[in-house]
A = this chain, B = another copy of it.
Amino acid sequence: MLDISLLGTGGMAPMPKRFLSSMIARLNGRLIIIDCGEGTQVSLKNLGWGFKAVDAVLFTHFHADHISGLPGMLLAIGNSGRTEPLKLIGPKGLIYVVEGLRRIAQELPFEIEYIEIDEKYEKALNISGFTIEWMFVEHSVKCAAYKISVLRAGKFDVSKAKALGLPRELWGRLQKGGDITYNGRFYTKDMVLGAARKPISVVFCTDSRPVEGLKGFAAGSDLFICEGMYGENEKLDKAKENKHMLFSEAAEIAKQADVCELWLTHFSPAMNEPCEFLENAASIFENTVIGYDNLTKTIIFKD
């Protein structure tokens, strides 16, 4: 099962009760973070999931509200006793930006591995059990949306195992992926499993205008976390100008993508109470939640 929490739900500028853009995912105790605005380390401390197991930090883009918390986060991860390498992932420019920020976080007890992602989002990364894909969306600078998936193998197919003539005591080992040799023949788990089952998937998209590809990218996901910079439909011109979305636009994507649940995030500092505008999204896509810092959910495989 996959745990998801929002570490910050503010856009542009942090508010007294709303840190800047960030989310975290936990799988089997391992953590990955997407975006790391100012205050992210405080929010993660509140959440209590620890810092040592953070294996990767992904960045949508490099506007300050999405990365200004990185130096503090690196030092916090360092103070946690981590010595394994940490992956930093983001669009081209990642190394230039992070190396600038690292002038105040030079001494770390772990290596940093940079991955600058390119246009080919079909190529997925596999980190600590998370499968990570991305697509580029439409903001004022190069900006990526991410999909985090937990894949699930097919069910063990007894008839296949029997047909292969494998003794029952070897089935368990084979199912868990331990390839075996028996009577001089080599067997892999694919030979005894059915088709892969639906993965858990969570899509995180901020900052962007609605783009055509997003519908397909988020299609059928368990949770779609999407920016909602403006609650009011009257702010469409502003949203277009600043390359952001209205609540209603995010809801329209959620509806078309047939996701299970929509969380709105990345609220304008001018919007004190995003809940006041919930109906503008919920009237289009009912299962909409107004995000808040430390909103947390556990997603399990559906059978």
| Alpha-carbon distance A75/B20, docked complex (angstroms) | 14
Residues of B contacting A76 with CB < 8 Å?
A: 13
Residues of B contacting A103 with CB < 8 Å?
A: 62, 96-97, 100-101
A231 contacts partner chain B, Cβ-Cβ < 8 Å: no
Mark A residues whose CB is within 8 Å of B. Answer: 12-16, 20, 38-39, 41-42, 45-46, 62-65, 67-69, 71-72, 75-76, 79, 96-97, 99-105
| Alpha-carbon distance A101/B62, docked complex (angstroms) | 12
- Interface SS, A side: helix
23 pairs across A/B with beta carbons < 8 Å?
A: A13-B41, A13-B45, A13-B75, A13-B76, A14-B72, A38-B39, A38-B68, A39-B39, A62-B103, A64-B71, A64-B72, A64-B75, A64-B104, A65-B72, A68-B69, A68-B71, A68-B104, A96-B103, A100-B101, A100-B102, A100-B103, A101-B101, A101-B103
Q: How many copies does the complex hold?
A: 2
A42 touches B45 (CB 8 A): no
B42 touches A105 (CB 8 A): no
Residue of B nearest to A10 (CB): B42
A104 touches B69 (CB 8 A): no
Nearest Cβ on chain B to A23's Cβ, whole angstroms:
19
Which of B38, B65, B75, B100 has a CB less than 8 Å from the CB of A100?
Answer: B100
Residues of B contacting A46 with CB < 8 Å?
A: 16
Residues of B contacting A104 with CB < 8 Å?
A: 62-64, 67-68, 97, 100-101
| Alpha-carbon distance A102/B97, docked complex (angstroms) | 9
Which of B12, B14, B64, B101 has a CB less than 8 Å from the CB of A42?
Answer: B14
B39 touches A42 (CB 8 A): yes
B41 touches A72 (CB 8 A): no
Residues of B contacting A38 with CB < 8 Å?
A: 38-39, 41-42, 68-69, 72
